[in-house]
Every structure is written in C-alpha cells, then in structure tokens.
Structure 1
C-alpha cells in the first residue's frame, strides 16, 4: 500500500493478544495477507489495548471500558486513537470501510462502538461477545427492535459450549443468539456463526479472514 493511498480502518480491541503473531488470532498477519492479495482494499489495522492503572487495587480497566453501555469508549477511539493514526496515514471517510472488531468483552465494545457511532463504523465483528455480563444486563435484544435501523453490518460468532451455555441466567450463548435474532428480525445485514467450542479465541482465529473479507466488501444495496 502506498503511503498516499487512502486506507480503510479496522480497530481491533485487546490489541496485545490480537496482534500476537504466535497467538490464535494473528490479526496483523491476517490483514496484511488479505491486503497483499487484493482480497480487501487497502486497510490499516489499529490494535488498541484497554487501560491499566499501575498500583491500583483493580489495575485492569478492561471490563469498565468494554462492557459498559455508553459512548465513552468509541469517543476515545474517534477523538484520541484515530487522529493519531490519521497523522501517519491517509484514511478514507466512508464508514463502510471502517470496522471495529473484538472478542469476549471486546466483542461488547465492538458492538457498542458501532451502535453508538454508525456514522463512523459501518461494520462490527463480535466474537463470543460477553453480553451476559454487561452491567444492567444485555440491552440489545429489547433495544434493537425499538430503534430505527442503523447503517451497520454485524458479524456475530458464538460457541455452543460458551460460558453458562446450560443455565437460565448469565448464559453467553443464549445472549448472543437473542442479540442475533433481534438484528435479524430488524432487517440488519447479519452473519451469525455458531461453533462447538467454549470461551476461547480459536474459532475467531479461523473466522477472521472471512469476516474481514465480508466486512470490507461493498455492502448490499
């Protein structure tokens, strides 16, 4: 990709393990290969870690940032992270080429970021989202039908043996399926993949190339 060529954006939450070339996701390797082969247009991967407060009683701020249903995280991305990237790369303005991606609580953050700012993120890739542990409960099964459809495409992956798969409350599988059903009934462009595994990133690593091809392809008209 030439420096002056405008690029799309893929924000990947939990950047430290999504980026790890020895890990199961290997986000940078996947994205580089897709761009190199011309399977997706020029795209910049932005790997973002959640905050840490050294010395604090609860040093990891991940659940606060990722699980909360508000616009603080996406505002941080758009006012602090993306401008830093834009100083170094020319970015396209088309939301259809801006994607936000995450797994577990990072999947919550990806969904909420696109939900709150569909004018910027045109697709969200959400793997094993932890909707079941959002403070106050998962808002989306009831919120989606009551809200005018947003110009966002959603890719949801869940596992048949995800956390709490066989219990009546805090069931990760059930909350993903309820969210997917609400999106389908509301007419969203949705992809849902259910695998046999539990709460680990193995399936995300397998699916990420196809998910990015789908997210960065022209949306249906």
Structure 2
C-alpha cells in the first residue's frame, strides 16, 4: 500500500529547525493515565554511584499477562511530561490505541558520584554510555530489570524488549543489544555519539565481519549534528556509516534524517513512530 506523506516545504536554514509534535506526544482525551514508580538506586556495578529510575506502567497492564519492556537511557529527559520526548505519555497513548502491546517503560538516569562536588567530574554518564563492552548491559540485566520484575510481570520474549537512547545513550542502546541480543532485540538510537566510542567507531567494521544479529534498529541522524562538516569526529558521518553497514548486512533497520542540530526535539517527535515501527510483528514487511 502506498503511503502518502503531506507536503511540507524544506527549510532553507538547517541550523535552527524545530519539528511539531504529533498527537501521540500529548495527553489524549479518553486515554487513561498510567502510573510511575520512582526509585533511588545505588549500583553494585558502578560503585559509589547513585541514580534515579522511573518505572512507568500503562493503565492497561494486567499482571496475569506479562508486559514488554522498553529501557530508556537519560531517564528523566525521556520521561519528563513537559520535555521533548514525553515517554510515559507516548506509551500510554500507543498502548491504549493498540499500536503496541502493553509495554512498561523503565527510565534510567546515568549514575552520579554524590560525594564529588565538581558537576563535571561527578557524572558517570560517559563511562557508562560510551564504553564498548557489556558492563552497562549487565548492570541493566542484573540490577535494574530484576527490580522491575520483582514488582511487575515482564515477558521473556526478547522481541518485546526494547532499548532506547539519544546521543551517548544512542550508541549505548546499540552496544547493549549488540552484547545481549538474546534479551534486547529492539533498538532506537537518536543522534548517536559513535564518535565518542573508545578507539573510534568500530561498528561499521563489526557489522560486516560478524554474523547478522537478530536485531531491529531504528536510527535518527541530523544534518547539522555536531561537527557535521568536519573531517573527523563527525556525528552525522558516523551515524551514516553505521546505517550503511546495517543496510549492506541486511539488517532490519530504518534511518530517519532530519534538519537541525544536536537537540532532542526531533527525537521526541519521532518517538511514537519509532516505537510503532520497532513493535510491529516480526513477519511484517520492512
């Protein structure tokens, strides 16, 4: 079936573009609100850090029917109902409409060292998100997910486990799924910071060298992302290289290019469609 996209003129200036949010990013009449549980978490995987974790449960959740799970990095940025992404509102709308199965959102902030006063040194975000290893994925699977499962019924079906993030959280999401494809098989990465991986972006080579993993990957890149016109550490170029490798390796993936810079506005506008696309039936056409 042909999909018709409404006409919109291209902006001449790509530096300061803002996209309008769609109806699924706002509270809709008749859609019951889910509820959110807030936790403060001291991590064994990252000693000395504390973080907040929010578990958002759509109103349709039934403990007799295990729910899917979607883990969002930079938790409050993605949950804040007055922010750009509004993750809890989006989940409530999509679950209520039947566009996605019942899915519990887990919004995980990066760790901070509470005993360090320097605001730059106290953040553990780069160490957690930009590391190319399985440590952060293990932290989620050994600490956060068991706590969620202690409270709510979560399915064992990896096709209903999603991992989501933007900027460094975007490459973190792919890294978690890359190391744990037996658990997380749905990935959404927005404006991913592949340039910040230690030793450089090794994903294009790895995607070609390794057998295809059972992942479905949604990517967003920006025409004016950081260093978009520079010969090195170019956020736009590295996202395009990863997308090209996924295409050549026959992954189930989708790339959306937008205007504007390194900003979560387009991320928020795309989030409902990204979750719909990730959650479509396995046998659905790409």
TM-score of the superposition, structure 1-length normalised? 0.98
Where does residue 120 of structure 1 map in the other structure?
183
Q: Tell me the residue number matched to 2:279.
A: 216
Runs of 4+ in 1 over 2 A off after TM superposition: none
Contact 1:129/1:172, CA 8 A, preserved across alignment: yes
Q: Check if 1:147 corresponds to 2:235.
A: no
- Maintained 8 Å contact 1:4/1:89: no
2:159 corresponds to which residue?
96
Match of 1:10 among 66, 70, 83: 70
Moved more, 2-11 or 75-84: 2-11
Contact (CA 8 Å) 1:96, 1:218: kept in 2 or not? no
Counterpart in the other structure of 2:5:
none
Q: Which has the larger radius of gyration?
A: 2
Q: Return the match for 2:97 from 22, 33, 37.
A: 37
The structure carrying a bigger helix percent of its residues is 1
Q: Distance in 1 between matches of 2:281 and 2:155?
A: 14
Q: Distance in 2 between matches of 1:111 and 1:20?
A: 23
Distance, in Å, in 1 between the alignment partners of 2:131 and 2:192 is 13
- The alignment's TM-score, normalised by the length of structure 2, stands at 0.76
Identify which of 100, 115, 121 aligns with 1:55: 115
Stretches of structure 1 lacking an aligned partner (at least 5 in a row): none
Correspondence for 1:169 among 216, 232, 239: 232
Deviation of residue 131 (structure 1)?
Answer: 0.3
Shift of 1:181: 0.4
Q: Is the 8 A contact 1:9 1:97 kept in 2?
A: yes
The alpha carbon displacement at 1:80 in A equals: 0.5
Question: 1: CA distance between counterparts of 2:99 and 2:242?
Answer: 29
Deviations 1:160-211 (A, max 9, x none): 0000000000000000000000011001001000001110000011100010
Measured in 1, the distance between the counterparts of 2:165 and 2:109 equals 11
5+ residue gaps, structure 2: 1-59
Distance 1:52 1:41 in 2: 33
Q: Does 2:196 match 1:133?
A: yes
Distance 1:113 1:219 in 2: 21
Q: Deviations over 1:93-114 (max 9, x none)?
A: 1111000000000001101001
Aligned to 2:148: 85
Partner of 1:27: 87
